[in-house]
Structure 1
Amino acid sequence: MSKLSTKSSDSQGLTSEVIAAKLQNEIVMGILRPGDRLGEVALAERFGVSRGPIRTSLKLLSEVGIVSIVPNSGARVRVMQRSDARALYEVRAALEAEAAMLAAQKASTKTTSRLGELLGQHAGEVQEHPKGAYLQAEGDRDFHLVIAEIAGSPIIERYLSRELYPQLSLLRVKHRFVTGRGAEALWEHQRIAQAITQNDPEVAKRLMYNHIRNSWGAIEAQLTEAERGSE
């Protein structure tokens, strides 16, 4: 969840930051869907605040990239276009490949234990649903954020968690029934983890880059198939 930073509030004490966090959670969870209108009056009534904090909250979510504000039209949950998603995955591939390389340079015995435990948990989940949306689940995100944390780069970790992942959640909400790669993704994660724990930065970087590109390739192919099916 993005940690938004405004302290604007009304007489009842709800800050714009708190309201924005609540709305962001609803967007990420799919309660508020892409294209849904976010009316200031309705939201002000819902949260029991004036329109000022609501306006600030929507501006914060617009800066994160998950709300679109159109002059004279208002705010809506952003609709993620394919070109936007492709661009995000390109940035993700570059950032996470760098994170994997840095993590491999700094990996320790503790790193091996941590990644092993996490992937063991994922293996059980994938075994139950081998073609499920593993790549789009919270656990997958945790794996990547753990690597970013091990890498020791606050900038990469912050950008992934506060901007990139919230935006990608819009794609996942819109296409929630797209099948995941399941076992293939887990295998790729295991190879990445092995390269990191063996302190092999170049291999870790290459494997992570290919993993993210494979993820996008699978999503794009299935989106194309879904679009053809709806014609």
Structure 2
Amino acid sequence: MMDEAASQQQKRTPDEDIAEAVESDIIFGRLKPGERLREEALLERFGHTRHFIRLALTRLEKKGILVHTRNVGAAVRAFTIPEVEEVYDVREMIQRQAALRIALPAEADDIARIAAIQRDYAACVKAGDLRGIHACNDRFHLAIFALCKNSHLLALVKQYMDLTYVIRTVTFSDPKALEASRKQHELMIEQLRGRDNWALAELCVQHLRPNKDKYLGRLRETEAARARKPAE
């Protein structure tokens, strides 16, 4: 009998594969914020029809990873400094509220399931598997916030995770940042065994800030470099 993973693989459509490949390009830094995705180049690369290329781009636009500008086309989402601050204000509010609504201590089965995801995450960090790091990281956090038992709040958490996709990838290739993230994940699991929702909520908020700060640092460096560049 075909196992579930193989069955799911068979059900995948070309646009899903294309979208996943573009996401990988962003994770590995092959596509930068603001960079355009030209349909002709994607047609040549993937060999599918324009229909599937456009479906893939639409899929990524709905997640907030790409933006579409009329008469220009699709591009990797880029943020200004004020936009980063505003979006992360919202992310912090959403995730804090989700953490505060988790019934502590969490059920043993839930903790065991989240701990298993964390082991997968740690293995990906050790192997330098950037795609796996991203996937396991999302699974880990969504599994925790699902414990708030509010599907609408969880959907908002996921929406803003996707919206900040480009920002969240900036530390994936930084071993020190990944190790710090791994340790914070372990602390979150310990908090799930306790009774202090405020401590859990604060940890979840603090966990967001390294990516935000690094992305803002890059934006400020770019602005400073432009300011130093002599007018042509």
Q: Same fold (TM over 0.5)?
A: yes
Q: Distance in 1 between matches of 2:15 and 2:178?
A: 38
Q: 1:200 aligns with which of 196, 201, 204?
A: 196
Match of 1:83 in 2: 82
Q: Distance in 1 between matches of 2:54 and 2:121?
A: 40
Match of 1:27 in 2: 26
Q: Distance in 2 between matches of 1:114 and 1:207?
A: 20
Question: Contact 1:106–1:150 at 8 Å: present in 2 too?
Answer: no
Structure with greater proportional helix content: 2
Q: What count of residue pairs does the alignment treat as equivalent?
A: 212
Closer, same or farther in 2 for the Cα pair 1:180/1:153, shift >3 Å?
A: farther
Q: SS state of the match for residue 75, structure 1?
A: strand
Displacement after TM superposition at 1:74 (Å): 2.0
Closer, same or farther in 2 for the Cα pair 1:106/1:15, shift >3 Å?
A: farther
Match of 2:63 in 1: 64
Question: Contact 2:39–2:50 at 8 Å: present in 1 too?
Answer: yes
Runs of 5+ consecutive residues of structure 1 not aligned to the other structure:
1-12, 129-136
Percent pairwise identity: 23
Backbone CA RMSD of aligned residues = 4.2
Closer, same or farther in 2 for the Cα pair 1:177/1:83, shift >3 Å?
A: farther
Q: Distance in 1 between matches of 2:75 and 2:216?
A: 28
Displacement after TM superposition at 1:72 (Å): 1.6
Runs of 5+ consecutive residues of structure 2 not aligned to the other structure:
1-11, 127-132
Residues 80-107 of structure 1: CA distance to partner in whole angstroms, max 9, x if unpaired? 3333332332222122222222333471
Q: SS state of the match for residue 104, structure 1?
A: coil
Q: Distance in 2 between matches of 1:30 and 1:113?
A: 34
Residues 40-98 of structure 1: CA distance to partner in whole angstroms, max 9, x if unpaired? 22222333333233233323322221212222222222223333332332222122222
Q: 1:146 aligns with which of 125, 130, 143?
A: 143
Question: Contact 2:167–2:211 at 8 Å: present in 1 too?
Answer: no
Match of 1:53 in 2: 52
